């Protein structure tokens, strides 16, 4: 996928910059996943993971 993008855009990224971009995207996805799982108030998610939130000791719940 990275090679495709490089071919398509016509420039190459340094390995360090590539790592930073990939890590940034990865952390964003992880942050969104954690937010939905541990902080969202959507009833289906909240009720399913209610005990998990309390079991972790530092995740606030109502």
d(CA 22, CA 6): 14
The reply to whether 33 sits near another protein by the rule CB under 8 A is yes
Output the six-digit token pair for 16. Answer: 């360090």
Closer Cβ to another protein, 10 or 58, answer by number: 58
Contact 54, 61 (CB under 8 A): yes
What's the closest the beta carbon of residue 28 comes to another protein, in angstroms?
9
Which residues are at the interface with another protein (CB under 8 A)?
Answer: 1-3, 15, 18-19, 22-23, 26-27, 29-31, 33-35, 37-39, 41, 46-62
């Amino acid at each position: 996928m990275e090679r495709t993008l490089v071919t398509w855009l016509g420039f190459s990224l340094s390995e360090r910059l590539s790592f930073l971009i990939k890590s940034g995207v990865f952390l964003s996805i992880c942050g969104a996943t954690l937010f939905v799982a541990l902080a969202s108030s959507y009833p289906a998610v909240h009720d399913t993971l209610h005990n998990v939130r309390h079991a972790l000791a530092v995740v606030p719940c109502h």
